[in-house]
């Protein structure tokens, strides 16, 4: 049962950041999270721009688009 949600080891890109990047043609690097033995290695919040409050959040771009 619990194996369903278990992610494999390796590097994962933030899908929300990637979506914003594609949508607005941003030049920011999509942050990657590394999983090792089911645990996140490093700082999972580093480099994100997918939420309000993050430094690079393209909120003004969004406001212009609407
Ligand atoms: Zn993100």
For the chain, how many structural domains are there in total?
1
- For the chain, list residues with pLDDT below 70: 1-5, 60-66
Sign (positive or negative) of CA dihedral 7, 57, 27, 29: negative
Range of the domain at 19: 10-65
| φ/ψ bin of 62: left (φ > 0), alpha (ψ from -120 to 50), beta (otherwise) | alpha
pLDDT at 30: 94
- Does 1 fall in a domain? no
C-alpha–C-alpha distance, residues 53 and 21, integer Å: 17
- Does 35 fall in a domain? yes
Rounded to the nearest 10 degrees, how much is the dihedral formed by the CA atoms of 7, 32, 50, 60?
-160
Tell me the CA–centroid distance for residue 1 and ligand 1, in Å: 28
- By the CB criterion, residues less than 5 angstroms from ion ligand 1 are 14, 16-17, 48, 50
- Does 5 fall in a domain? no
pLDDT at 3: 47
pLDDT at 15: 93
C-alpha–C-alpha distance, residues 44 and 35, integer Å: 10
Tell me the CA–centroid distance for residue 4 and ligand 1, in Å: 23
pLDDT at 1: 46
- Does 3 fall in a domain? no
Tell me the CA–centroid distance for residue 17 and ligand 1, in Å: 4
């Amino acid at each position: 049962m619990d194996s369903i949600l278990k992610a494999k080891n390796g590097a994962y890109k933030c899908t929300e950041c990637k979506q914003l990047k594609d949508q607005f043609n941003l030049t920011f690097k999509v942050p990657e999270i590394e999983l090792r033995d089911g645990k996140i290695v490093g700082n999972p919040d580093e480099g994100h721009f997918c939420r309000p409050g993050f430094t690079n959040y393209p909120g003004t771009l969004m406001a212009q688009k609407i």
